[in-house]
Amino acid sequence: MPDPAGNPDVLIVGSGPAGAMAARDLARAGARVTVLERGAGADPGNGLIGLLRRREAMYIAPGVLLLRSLRVGGGSVTFFHTAMPTPLDMFARRGVDLAADLAAVRDELPNAPLRDDLRGPMTRRIEDAARALGLPWQPLSKMIDQTRCAHGHCPPQAFWTAQGLLDQAAAAGARLLTGVQVDSVLRENGRAVGVRAHHGSAETTYRAGRIVLAAGGTATPAILRASGIDAAGDGFFCDPLRVVMATLPDAERRDEISMSAGFVDGPAGYMLSDITVPENFFRAFALAGGRPDRLWSYSRTAMIMVKIRDDIAGAIDGTGRAWRHFGAADKARMRTGVDRARAVLAAAGASRTYASPWVAAHPGGTVRLGELVDASLRCQMDDLYVCDASVIPEPWGLPPTLTLLALGRYLARNLG
Ligand SMILES: Cc1cc2nc3c(=O)[nH]c(=O)nc-3n(C[C@H](O)[C@H](O)[C@H](O)COP(=O)(O)OP(=O)(O)OC[C@H]3O[C@@H](n4cnc5c(N)ncnc54)[C@H](O)[C@@H]3O)c2cc1C
């Protein structure tokens, strides 16, 4: 029965992978859906100063930057397109069975290892060296439509983003309002009935039958804290990484797709993969790594990403400021991974390696399933749901987008 005031059935806050999938599926199921998104349409670019100014980069510990995307499509517009398998058991132990949703997402969206002709020379060189050391270096699944790639090159439209889901949601009747920053949840008689938000300097409220927070691992807990749910944001993980680099005199970087292959050491809590960071980040990393002499060696620099499974620590406050420390166990995992990466680069022919500062890229575990959120993803009051990286219940240490897409589908199926 439509709301006589014309309010939507569902308000979704955030248009990243989880929010976009939930919006698309709910709209297709007949719900009237409005998505409120903080980012605006235009691409703001990836210059470091701009990222800091827009809080798409923020320091979460001395010298440690956390990166996120406050844009239409969320992290899907800047991510590396790697689709790692979902930890089904971790969710099943809390009553969430994602198997069918994961299978449906895998059937629908591109996710396959790169064809051989799309692998760059630098990534092959790293793979050969890793294999020579006996490491089980394997191709990683990529969310890239390889039917659009030819002659060793993938055009921009081959790289999957959540924009396709948002277009399908719009075709099914959903509305996307951009430039709207949600601040808190409106509660009446113990139920969520809407959100308070601002658009530029104008403050406004939006009402709906149900509210879904999908604003990402740092923004969702901030909204909840500002709504009186103080346990949100009590601790987070962020899957920090370092990039280990070395110049290979006889190598040349060419159209390399990041994270084309790698190796996960689950018990030791780290993964390694090839990576290509943008040139501005490379220069910042070379300076921070004490190698100004390497500033002009971008095209000959081999890079390996070391990403660890960090412990849940620190806090996120009601303004979205995140702060934490990395303990001895985190540092030991990172050291082990970095040593492995240095060994691979040495086997590839490098004589001197250097490493970037720590960078965090997957904040999550801030509104944990089984603690603040139940198996229907309901959060602490009726008609309020959370569906994004916040609900991941344990440190996991691997890229989560495929899992978050399955979670968006799961929520829509259960709400629809
Ligand atoms: C450099 C980099 C590379 C990565 N590579 C990979 C990869 O290869 N594979 C992978 O799986 N993952 C990768 N990730 C991580 C991945 O991008 C994120 O984990 C994923 O996007 C999280 O999805 P989400 O749905 O939880 O939220 P997000 O993608 O964070 O989306 C949240 C949305 O909410 C909006 N929002 C935030 N606050 C508000 C507010 N107050 N009001 C309204 N809207 C708001 C944001 O603008 C954003 O659009 C990478 C991340 C980075 C930084």
180: domain CATH number?
3.50.50.60
Please check whether residues 37 and 94 belong to one and the same domain.
Answer: yes
Of the three residues 344, 360, 376, the one that is the final residue of a domain is 360
Q: How many domains does the chain have?
A: 2
Structure tokens at 33: 């859906």
- Amino acid (one-letter) located at 154: C
Distance of CA 234 to the CA centre of its chain: 20
CA dist., res. 371 & res. 390, Å (int): 12
Please check whether residues 352 and 274 belong to one and the same domain.
Answer: yes
Would the CA dihedral through 177, 12, 231, 71 be positive or negative? negative
Of the three residues 322, 344, 360, the one that is the final residue of a domain is 360
Give which of 362, 365, 363 is closest to 322, Cα–Cα: 363
How far lies 256's CA from each of 244, 253, 259, 261, 302, in Å?
16, 7, 9, 11, 11
Give which of 72, 31, 41 is closest to 212, Cα–Cα: 31
Nearest-CA residue for atom 35 of ligand 1: 14
Instruction: Enumerate the β-bridge partners of residue 181.
Output: 198
Query: Dihedrals φ, ψ of 191, to 5°?
Result: -115, 150
Please check whether residues 256 and 216 belong to one and the same domain.
Answer: no
Q: For residues 51 and 109, which has the higher predicted lDDT (pLDDT)? A: 109
DSSP for 27-56 reads HHTT--EEEEESS-SS-----HHHHHHTTS
CA dist., res. 373 & res. 364, Å (int): 14
Of the three residues 360, 389, 405, the one that is the final residue of a domain is 360
* Nearest atom (ligand 1) to Cα of 403: 11
**What one-character DSSP code corresponds to residue 378?**
B
Q: Find which of 212-221, 294-303, 346-355 is predicted with most confidence, using mean pLDDT.
A: 212-221
Nearest-CA residue for atom 16 of ligand 1: 75
Average pLDDT score over residue span 66-72: 95
- Given a contact cutoff of 8 angstroms between Cβ atoms, the answer to whether 354 and 289 are in contact is yes
Please check whether residues 175 and 89 belong to one and the same domain.
Answer: yes
**pLDDT value at position 416?**
74
Give which of 195, 230, 188 is closest to 211, Cα–Cα: 195
CA dist., res. 26 & res. 28, Å (int): 5
- Parent domain of 355: 113-141+240-360
Q: Indicate whether 259 belongs to any domain.
A: yes
Is the per-residue pLDDT at 1 higher than 70? Answer: no
CA dist., res. 209 & res. 31, Å (int): 10
Please check whether residues 250 and 352 belong to one and the same domain.
Answer: yes
Please check whether residues 175 and 275 belong to one and the same domain.
Answer: no
Q: Indicate whether 220 belongs to any domain.
A: yes
Span 80-124, pLDDT tens digits? 999 999 999 999 999 999 999 999 999 999 999 999 999 999 999
- Given a contact cutoff of 8 angstroms between Cβ atoms, the answer to whether 391 and 197 are in contact is no
Structure tokens at 159: 């790289």
CATH of the domain at 355: 3.30.560.10
Is the per-residue pLDDT at 3 higher than 80? Answer: no
Please check whether residues 314 and 376 belong to one and the same domain.
Answer: no
Please check whether residues 288 and 341 belong to one and the same domain.
Answer: yes
Please check whether residues 222 and 369 belong to one and the same domain.
Answer: yes
**pLDDT value at position 122?**
93
Please check whether residues 337 and 389 belong to one and the same domain.
Answer: no
Q: How many A from CA of 33 to the centre of ligand 1?
A: 20
Q: For residues 344 and 3, which has the higher predicted lDDT (pLDDT)? A: 344
Nearest-CA residue for atom 46 of ligand 1: 70
With a Cβ cut-off of 6 Å, ligand 1 is lined by 13-19, 36-39, 67-68, 70-71, 74-76, 78-82, 180-182, 214-217, 219, 223, 259, 361-362, 388-389, 399-401, 404
Please check whether residues 323 and 259 belong to one and the same domain.
Answer: yes
Average pLDDT score over residue span 372-395: 98
| Ramachandran area for residue 389 (φ above 0: left; ψ -120 to 50: alpha; else beta) | alpha
Q: Indicate whether 58 belongs to any domain.
A: no
Nearest-CA residue for atom 10 of ligand 1: 399
How much is the pTM?
0.97
CA dist., res. 353 & res. 342, Å (int): 6
Q: Indicate whether 52 belongs to any domain.
A: no
- Given a contact cutoff of 8 angstroms between Cβ atoms, the answer to whether 301 and 289 are in contact is no
Q: How many A from CA of 408 to the centre of ligand 1?
A: 13
Please check whether residues 120 and 81 belong to one and the same domain.
Answer: no
CA dist., res. 82 & res. 174, Å (int): 28
